[in-house]
Amino acid sequence: MSIATSPFVREGTPLERAVKAARVYRRAHGPSILREFCTFLSIPNTSAEAEGLVRNAHFLQEAFAKRRARMELLRVASAPPIVFGELRTPGATRTLGIYMHYDGQPAGADRWAHPPWEPTLYHRPLEEGGQPRPLPEEGEPIDPEWRLYARSASDGKAPFAALLAALDALYAADIAPTANLKFLFDGEEESGSPNLPRYLKHYGESYHDVDAWLFLDGPVHPSRRPQLVFGARGTASLEVTVYGAVRPLHSGHYGNWAPVPGTLLAHLLASMVDEEGHVLIDGFYDGVEPVGEAERALLDAMPDYDDDLRQELGLLGTGLQGVPLVESLMLPSLTVRGLESGSVGETVRNVVPSHASASIDIRLAPGNDPETIMERVEEHIRRQGYHIVRVTPNHDTRLRHPKIARVVREKGYPAARTPVDLPIVGTLAKAVEAATGEPPLLVPTFGGSLPLYLFTDVLEKPAVIVPIVNHDNNEHAPNENLRLANLWYGVDLFAALLTM
C-alpha cells in the first residue's frame, strides 16, 4: 500500500495530512535520507575550498531539480554561487522565500574524532561515550538519539536534508504544497555573506514575488522545545596583533628588557572588556534600540532555562552576571574568540614571542552600525597608546612608534528584526504546533548572525528564522553533530510549512 492511499494519511486537513505523510515517509525511508545527506556532508564546504563550494552548489542544483524545482546557479565574479530555485504549484496561496546556506566554518580537523568531511554516525553523543556505528541498512530501525558527526551536519546542511525529505514525503502522498517556493542558497554565510548585496542587486528581481522569507537555520531552544525567531544580531569582527622585537628572543637572555607581546595584549584586552563581559570601550553601547513592548512580552514569556543550561555547560556563573541568556542577546557583545602567541603545551619554547594576536568577535544589536562600532574599537586601541597599521609593520615603522597594533577588520552587517505581530507569525506557529504537538517559543532575536537585514531592510519583506537542529551540536567547533530526532523534526515541520 502506497503512502498516498494509506487511510492514515488520507484523513484531516492538508496540514495534518502533510505532517502524517512526513512521519510515514521518514520512518520508511530513514536510511536512504541519511545516505543522501552523508553524500552532501562529504563535500568540503569552507571558504578556503572554492572548488568544494561549487561542488556543493551542483549537488543542491541536482537534488532539488530531482524534486521538480527549476534550478539555476547564479554567479557574480569571485564569489561562490548562489543556488537559485523555483518550485511552483498551481493554486498556491503564497510565495515563500527559502534561505539556507551550504558553506561551513573552518574545521580545525586535528581536533575532530573523525575527519570533518567523513560523516560518521554515533550511537549517542561523544561526551556520553558514543561509539561509531555504520549507517543503517534499508528497513533497519533508527534511534532518534543517534548523532551524525560532520562539519555542517547541523549548521547549515541539516535543513537541506529535511526539506528534500519533506518534498519527497509530500510527493509520495500526492499532497500539493500550498505555497510557491523560491530558493536562495548562500555559499558565504559563515564569511558574513559579503557578496549577497551584489547578488541581490543583480538578481533581486527573481525574488520580487516572495511574500515572506523563511531562514532555515540555527538551533532550537536548549530545552529542545521548538522556536520561531524574529531577528538576528549583526556582526563585526577584527583581528588585533601587537608586536615585540622583529624576531622571537630567548626569554632568559632578554626577559625583563624585551617588550612582551602577550603581556601587552593582555592589558589591551583587559582594557576593552571586564571579566563579566561588560564592554568598556567608549560608545560601544551607544544607539542600541530599546526593547519594544511586543518583544518585552515575548522575553517575559520565555521559560527560565538558564540554570539547566549552566548545569549542562558546567558553569557556576555566566558572563553578564544575573542577566538571563535571552536578555543578554538583546545587547551587542564582544568575545575574544582566539588568542595566539608563541606556543603552549608540549611545544612550548623559552622565547619572548615577536607578536601576539587576538581575534575579536562582535555581535550587534539593532541600532549598531558595524563600521562605526569597529571605528570605536580602534579609537580605544589608539587611546591605549597604539599606532594602528593594516599590514605587518616594517622596520622603519617599528622604530617610529613604541606600541604598534595591526588591526584587520572583517566586513560585517547590521542586526535585523521582523515585527512579531504579523499574520504570518500565527500561521507559522500553527504549522510548528501541527508538527510537534506544542506551540513554539517566540523569540525576538537569535544571538547568532544571519544577513537578515538584506531581506527585512533592503527587500523589505518579513523574514522569520525557523530552526530545527539541536542546540548541543558543537556548531562552529570540532565534532559538530546533528541529533537525528532534530532531523526528523525538520522533515515534519517543513512538510507542514509547505502546506500551511
Q: Which is nearer to a second copy, 16 or 340 (CB)?
A: 340
From candidates 134, 252, 423, 437, binder to a second copy by CB under 8 A: 252
Angle between helix 50-66 and 158-172 (nearest 10): 10
Q: Name which of 340, 310, 335 is nearest 322 in CA terms.
A: 310
Q: Which stretch binds a second copy (CB under 8 A): 19-27, 83-91, 134-142, 272-280?
A: 272-280
Q: Which stretch binds a second copy (CB under 8 A): 134-142, 203-211, 452-460, 468-476?
A: 468-476
Q: Give yes or no for residue 235 binding a second copy (CB under 8 A).
A: yes
Q: Minimum Å distance from CB 70 to a second copy?
A: 34
Query: Which residue spans within 17-172 are E strands per DSSP?
Result: 70-74, 82-87, 94-101, 120-122, 132-133, 147-149
From candidates 376, 424, 447, 485, binder to a second copy by CB under 8 A: 447
Q: Minimum Å distance from CB 233 to a second copy?
A: 6
Q: Minimum Å distance from CB 424 to a second copy?
A: 24
Q: Give yes or no for residue 470 binding a second copy (CB under 8 A).
A: no
Q: Give yes or no for residue 224 binding a second copy (CB under 8 A).
A: no
Residue 293: its H or E element: helix 293-301
Stretch 199-218 residues interacting with a second copy (CB under 8 A): 218
DSSP 176: P
Which residues is 357 bridged to in the sheet?
A: 241, 340
Q: Give yes or no for residue 247 binding a second copy (CB under 8 A).
A: yes
CB count within 10 Å of CB 72 equals 17
Stretch 36-75 residues interacting with a second copy (CB under 8 A): 48
Give yes or no for a contact between 263 and 477, defined as CB atoms under 8 angstroms apart: no
Q: Give yes or no for residue 391 binding a second copy (CB under 8 A).
A: no
Stretch 118-137 residues interacting with a second copy (CB under 8 A): 127
Q: Name which of 221, 242, 255, 250 is nearest 405 in CA terms.
A: 242
Q: CA-CA distance, 455 to 462, in Å (whole number)? A: 7
Q: Minimum Å distance from CB 97 to a second copy?
A: 22
Cell numbers given for 151: 562539519
Q: Among all chains, which residue has been given the C-alpha cell 553601547? A: 285
Q: Which is nearer to a second copy, 4 or 246 (CB)?
A: 246
Stretch 93-112 residues interacting with a second copy (CB under 8 A): 105-106, 108
Question: Pattern 323-362, binding to a second copy, x per CB under 8 A?
Answer: x-x--xx-x-xxxxxxxxxxxxxxxxxxxxx--xxxx-x-
Q: Where are the alpha helices (DSSP H) in 183-237?
A: 196-203
Stretch 286-315 residues interacting with a second copy (CB under 8 A): 310-311, 313-315
One-letter amino acid of 205: E
Q: Give yes or no for residue 319 binding a second copy (CB under 8 A).
A: yes
From candidates 1, 137, 256, 423, binder to a second copy by CB under 8 A: 256
Q: Give yes or no for residue 363 binding a second copy (CB under 8 A).
A: yes
Cell numbers given for 146: 543517534
Q: Where are the alpha helices (DSSP H) in 206-292?
A: 261-272
Q: Give yes or no for residue 318 binding a second copy (CB under 8 A).
A: yes
One-letter amino acid of 425: V
From candidates 12, 303, 402, 426, binder to a second copy by CB under 8 A: 402
CA 359 to chain centre: 18
Q: Minimum Å distance from CB 345 to a second copy?
A: 7
Q: Minimum Å distance from CB 316 to a second copy?
A: 4
Adjacency order of strands within the sheet including 147-149: 132-133, 120-122, 147-149, 481-483
Stretch 127-186 residues interacting with a second copy (CB under 8 A): 127
Q: Among all chains, which residue has been given the C-alpha cell 523563511? A: 214
Collapsing DSSP states into helix, strand and coil, what is residue 480?
coil
CB count within 10 Å of CB 355 equals 22
Q: Which is nearer to a second copy, 380 or 471 (CB)?
A: 471
Q: Give yes or no for residue 389 binding a second copy (CB under 8 A).
A: no
Q: CA-CA distance, 383 to 468, in Å (whole number)? A: 45
Q: CA-CA distance, 187 to 47, in Å (whole number)? A: 8
Give yes or no for a contact between 181 and 86, defined as CB atoms under 8 angstroms apart: yes
Q: Give yes or no for residue 229 binding a second copy (CB under 8 A).
A: no
Q: Which is nearer to a second copy, 378 or 492 (CB)?
A: 378
Q: Give yes or no for residue 277 binding a second copy (CB under 8 A).
A: yes
Q: Which is nearer to a second copy, 300 or 346 (CB)?
A: 346
Q: Which stretch binds a second copy (CB under 8 A): 14-22, 57-65, 418-426, 472-480?
A: 472-480
